[in-house]
Structure 1
Amino acid sequence: MKNNPFTSPTFVTTWLKHFTSFKEQYSFSFIDDLSFIKNKKLPVFINIGKNWTKAMSYSISPDPESVPKNKVLLIYDIPNYVIPNKLTAGGPIKTHKVRQYEGFLANLSGFKTLDEYMQDRFDSKSRYNFRKNKKKLTQCFHINESIYFGSITKDEYDAVFKSFHSLLKKTFLEKQVSTNILEKWDYYYELVYPMILEKKASLYVLRNEDEPICIALNFHSEDISFLFFSVYDSDYSKFGIGYMSVMKCIEWCIENNFKGYDFSKGYFHYKKRWSNVIYNFDYHILYDSKSITASFLAFFMSNYFRWKQILREKNLNKAFNKVLFHLKNKEKIDDKYPGFQFGPKTELSDSHQFNKLNFKSCEYAFLRKPIYEFIYKTGFHIKDIKVTESQGSFWVIGQDKMQKIMINN
C-alpha cells in the first residue's frame, strides 16, 4: 500500500502524544514502513497506531542479519488484500496470522461513474429508491454537500467538528452503546485538521442550510480511501441520508481515480450492500523462532486473539458495550429521546387555542423526527410547515394536510 496515511509522520506523532506516556519509537531494518512501541515488561513490540487504524501494511527485507533476536512483533489490522512479501523459507523469523474482523471494500476498478457502480450492485427498484429519497430531501430542505480535502479554514473545521461530536453523542445515546471515539475526541480533533491539509484525510459534510446533518471522515492512501467513521442525524432517517453519504464518497473516489472505497472492519448492513469485496483483517505476529521466550509469547498471543475472535463472533462484545454504556450513563434515555406516534388527521376547530411553536429550538427538539416524517410523507417544504400546540397536544400543519403528534411517555 503506497502512502499509507496511518504511517505518516502526522499520524505517528499525534497518536504517540495521546496514547503513550513514552515517545520512544523502534524500527527494524528487516521490516519496512512500520515503527513500533515496546511493551514495558516483555520483549514484545507493537505497531504504532495499534488497532486505531483502518489498515496496516509492510514489506520484508531479505537481509537475515537484520532480524530482531529474541523478540516478538505484533502488527494489527492487515487487510488480507494487502499481501506482504514472504519471509525467507527456513529463516529464523516465523509468522502467526490470526484472522479477526471482516472487512468490506467497494472495488472501483473498471467503473467510470457512480451510476455504473450502482448498476452493478443494485437492482432498478433500489436505484430508484435511492434517487427518490435524494430528490425528496432536496425538495423538502435547503440541502448542500461539501468535501474538504486539501484545504479548510480552521474556523470551518472547528464548526464541523463541533457538529460531528454532537451527532455522534446523540447517535450512541440512542443506540445505548459505549464508544471510545467520544472518549478520545481530543485526539481526533488534533489529528484530522493537518491530515486534511496534507490530503491524507477528508471530511464529507451534508447540510440542511448551515446545519450539518451527515458527516463522514475518510483517510486516504495513494489509491484507497478508508471510511473511518460516519454519522447522520436520526431525525432525517426516513430520507436515507446515510446512503447519500456513501454515494457521494464513492462518486468522489471514482472522479479522483481511487481504486477502492474501504468501509473497513465491523459489520453493518449498509457496508454489505455497498461493497463488492468481503475480506478479513489479520493480526500478524512475527517472532524469532530460535528463541524459546519469543516462541512461547507468540503462541500465547495468537491463541489469545483467536479466542477473542470466537467471543466476538458470538456478539459478546456488543453485550459488553451495552453494559459499559449503562455503567457510564445514568440519565434516562427514554426521557431524552421520547418515542412518538401519529394520531388521527383531525381538523382543528375554531375553539382550539393555538400556540405556534419554534420547533427548531432546543426546547422542541423531540418534535423534529415526527415533523420530518410528516414532511417525507407529504412532500411539503420545511418553510411551508407550522407546528402548533393546543390543549396539551401537538399538530404539524402544511397547506392542505395536518397530523396530530402524540408523544410516548
Structure 2
Amino acid sequence: MGFPKKTHIEFFTSLMEENSVPSLFESTSYFNNILRNDASNYSDDSSSSIYSLRLVPEYINLKMGNPNNWSRKVIKHFNWGYAIHLDGFESIDAYLQAQFKSKYRSIIRRYVNRLEHCFPISYKLYFGEMERKQYEFIMSALHGMIVDRFGQRQETHKDFYRWEDLSTEMYQRILHKKASLFVIYDGDKPIQISLNYHFDKILFSAISSYDIDYAKFGLGHVEIYKQLEWCISNKFCIYEMGVGGMDYKRRWSNNIYQYEHHIVFKNESIFNQLVARVELSRVKLKEYLKRKKINELIYGLKSKASRNRISDNSIEKDVQLTSVENHLEASEYKLYDIASSECKNLRKYIYDFAYTNVDKVSEIQLWQSNSSTNEYLIKGSSKQTLLVFK
C-alpha cells in the first residue's frame, strides 16, 4: 500500500476562475441554485485519497457523490468574504434602499450623477462578444491604471506576477462567457475597468482599478452600482467581491461570510485517516496563528521595510489652491488646451474642481500665468481657483 495521495486546492479560485469542482462532489449549490457536477466520477478509484480544500465560501454547499465512502472535516477560516445577494431585488434602487441609510444613498447617487454631469460618460460590459483589438486596448489601460494606483499606494498588485498569462487567456473566457470586462468610458477613454469571472449566476469582480485623476468621483462605488444594475437585469444571484475586509466591501455587502477549509478523505484505511488528521492539525495551527495576528505582524514588518525604500520621486509637490474673484486679466495668462499632453499632470486638479463646482469639464478653462510656470488659473462657469505649485 503506497502513501495516500493528497490534493491541495484553493477552492474559491478554482471555482470562480476555472469553473472547476472536484469530481468527488455530485453537486454544488448556493441559495436556491443547484448545479450537478457532470464530470463527476463516484467510484472509489479516485486519483486522490485526501482532498484539502481551502477558501470554500460558507454559502456554497458541496454534496458528496459517495458519502458513505468518504469523511469530511470542516474548519472555519479566519478569513471573511464579501458578497451581495441579489435575490428578491428588482432594481438597484431597491437594493440601495435596503442596504444603506439615506445619507449614504445620497452619496452614492451623487457620485453617479456628478460623474455623468461633468463628463460624457458611457458604460460597457463585454460578455460573450468583443473585438480582439478592443480587448488588448482595455487590458493595456487596466495595466496602466494598476501601475499608477499601486505606485501611489507604494504597494505591488497581487496579480502582477501572472499578468502576461491573464492577458493571454482572458479573451477566450470572455468569448465563452466565463469572464467579462466592465468599462466606464469618458468619451473614448477608459477611466475605470473591472475584470470579472463568472460561475453560473455569480459574478466575481476579481481585478479592478481606475484612473487616479478621477479619484474625487468615487469610481469604485460607481463601478459596483452599475455592475449591480447589470446583474439584476441579467438575473444574476450574487455579486462577489472575495476575501479582504476593505471598508467599501463591508458597506456594500449584505452577505458577509466566513470561508471554510474542507478536508475530505476516503474511509478505506487507517493510514488515510492518520494523514488526514495531520492535515487537520496543520490547518488548525495555521488558523490559530491568524487569530493571534502573527501573519499581520510579519506583513507589517515587510510593509514598513518597503515604505523605508520610497524614493523622493514618489512624494508629491506641495500644492496651494485658492478661490479667487471671478475676473481674469487676459494679458497676465495664456490659455491651455486641457486635452493636450502638456496638461496631463494638471488634470486631477481640473477634475477635482469640476466635481466640487458641478461644472462640465468641456466648459472649464485652464490658464497659465505669464510670470510663473508654477501658477495656473482654473476657470469654471461661475468660479475660479488659483493653482500654485510651491
Instruction: Place the TM-score, normalised by the shorter chain, in its bin.
Output: 0.7 to 0.9
Percent identity, please.
Answer: 24
Read off the aligned partner of 2:336 and give its amino acid letter: L
* Residues 78 and 291, structure 2, Cα contact 8 Å, conserved in 1: no
Q: Once the 2 structures are TM-superposed, how far is the Cα of residue 189 of structure 1 from its aligned partner?
A: 0.7
**What's 2:383 paired with?**
401
* Residues 178 and 321, structure 1, Cα contact 8 Å, conserved in 2: no
CA distance in 2, matches of 1:350, 1:405: 16
Q: Which structure's residues are more often strand, by fraction?
A: 2
Q: Once the 2 structures are TM-superposed, how far is the Cα of residue 126 of structure 1 from its aligned partner?
A: 2.5
* 1:349–1:107 distance in 2 versus 1, CA, 3 Å: closer
**What's 2:314 paired with?**
334
**What's 2:35 paired with?**
none
Read off the aligned partner of 1:113 and give its amino acid letter: S
Read off the aligned partner of 1:188 and give its amino acid letter: L
CA distance in 2, matches of 1:99, 1:87: 25
Listed as ranges, the matches of 1:31-46 within 5 Å are: 43-46=5-8
Read off the aligned partner of 1:380 and give its amino acid letter: D
Read off the aligned partner of 1:186 and give its amino acid letter: E
Q: TM-score, normalised by structure 1?
A: 0.78
Give CA deviations for 1:67-110 in whole Å, capped at 9, x if unaligned: 667x5422232101112226978856443534142111111111
Secondary structure, aligned partner of 2:367: strand
Give CA deviations for 1:138-163 in whole Å, capped at 9, x if unaligned: 22111111110110000000110111
Secondary structure, aligned partner of 2:226: helix
Listed as ranges, the matches of 1:82-161 within 5 Å are: 82-85=60-63, 93-161=71-139
Larger deviation, residues 383-392 vs 145-154: 383-392
Q: For 1:303, which of 263, 273, 284 is the aligned residue?
A: 284
**What's 1:6 paired with?**
none
Read off the aligned partner of 1:150 and give its amino acid letter: G
* Residues 83 and 240, structure 2, Cα contact 8 Å, conserved in 1: yes
Read off the aligned partner of 2:25 and give its amino acid letter: I
* 1:172–1:88 distance in 2 versus 1, CA, 3 Å: same
**What's 1:384 paired with?**
363
* Residues 385 and 396, structure 1, Cα contact 8 Å, conserved in 2: yes
Secondary structure, aligned partner of 1:76: strand
* Residues 359 and 368, structure 1, Cα contact 8 Å, conserved in 2: yes
* Residues 149 and 201, structure 1, Cα contact 8 Å, conserved in 2: yes
Q: TM-score, normalised by structure 2?
A: 0.81
Runs of at least 4 residues of structure 1 off by over 6 A?
87-90
**What's 1:33 paired with?**
none
Larger deviation, residues 229-238 vs 360-369: 360-369
* Residues 326 and 383, structure 2, Cα contact 8 Å, conserved in 1: no
**What's 1:195 paired with?**
173
**What's 2:211 paired with?**
233
Listed as ranges, the matches of 1:255-266 within 5 Å are: 255-266=233-244
* Residues 104 and 264, structure 1, Cα contact 8 Å, conserved in 2: yes
Q: Once the 2 structures are TM-superposed, how far is the Cα of residue 251 of structure 1 from its aligned partner?
A: 1.0
Give CA deviations for 1:309-364 in whole Å, capped at 9, x if unaligned: 3365874465256357558x7644534x5453412425677496424334444554
RMSD over equivalenced CA pairs, Å: 3.2
* Residues 42 and 66, structure 2, Cα contact 8 Å, conserved in 1: no
Q: For 2:300, which of 314, 319, 328 is the aligned residue?
A: 319
CA distance in 1, matches of 2:337, 2:303: 35
* 1:364–1:305 distance in 2 versus 1, CA, 3 Å: farther
Q: Once the 2 structures are TM-superposed, how far is the Cα of residue 42 of structure 1 from its aligned partner?
A: 9.5
**What's 1:248 paired with?**
226
* 1:317–1:270 distance in 2 versus 1, CA, 3 Å: farther
Larger deviation, residues 114-123 vs 51-60: 51-60
**What's 2:275 paired with?**
294
Q: Which runs of 5+ in 2 are unaligned?
A: 27-40
CA distance in 2, matches of 1:246, 1:211: 19
Secondary structure, aligned partner of 1:112: coil
Read off the aligned partner of 1:381 and give its amino acid letter: K
CA distance in 2, matches of 1:285, 1:144: 47
Q: For 1:371, which of 350, 353, 356 is the aligned residue?
A: 350
CA distance in 2, matches of 1:115, 1:50: 30
Q: Which runs of 5+ in 1 are unaligned?
A: 1-40
* 1:259–1:331 distance in 2 versus 1, CA, 3 Å: same
CA distance in 2, matches of 1:325, 1:169: 16
Read off the aligned partner of 1:208 and give its amino acid letter: D
Q: For 1:60, which of 19, 25, 38 is the aligned residue?
A: 25
CA distance in 1, matches of 2:59, 2:356: 44
Secondary structure, aligned partner of 2:194: strand
**What's 1:37 paired with?**
none
